[in-house]
């Protein structure tokens, strides 16, 4: 199992680091959310 990160606002997995230097800042492509808080989940689906 590996961990995935999700947007706390819309639940999308389509998020990325805004700045590599600021490890705590995330941005969501789907709803535009920006912030330090993301949902971490264990993914049990197989790829």
Catalog residues that contact Zn ion under the rule CB under 5 A.
7, 9-10, 12, 28, 30-31, 33
Judge contact between 10 and 33, C-beta under 8 A: yes
Cα atoms in the Cβ-side hemisphere of radius 13 Å centred on 45 = 3
Tell the smallest beta-carbon distance from residue 30 to Zn ion (Å): 5
Which lies closer to Zn ion via its Cβ, residue 4 or residue 33? 33
State the burial class of residue 37 (Cβ atoms within 10 Å of its Cβ: 0-12, 13-18, 19+). exposed
Tell the smallest beta-carbon distance from residue 29 to Zn ion (Å): 8
Tell the smallest beta-carbon distance from residue 9 to Zn ion (Å): 4
């Amino acid at each position: 199992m590996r961990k995935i990160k999700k947007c706390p606002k819309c639940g999308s997995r389509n998020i990325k680091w805004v700045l590599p230097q600021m490890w705590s800042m995330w941005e969501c492509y789907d709803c535009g959310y920006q912030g330090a808080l993301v949902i971490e989940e264990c993914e049990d689906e197989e790829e």
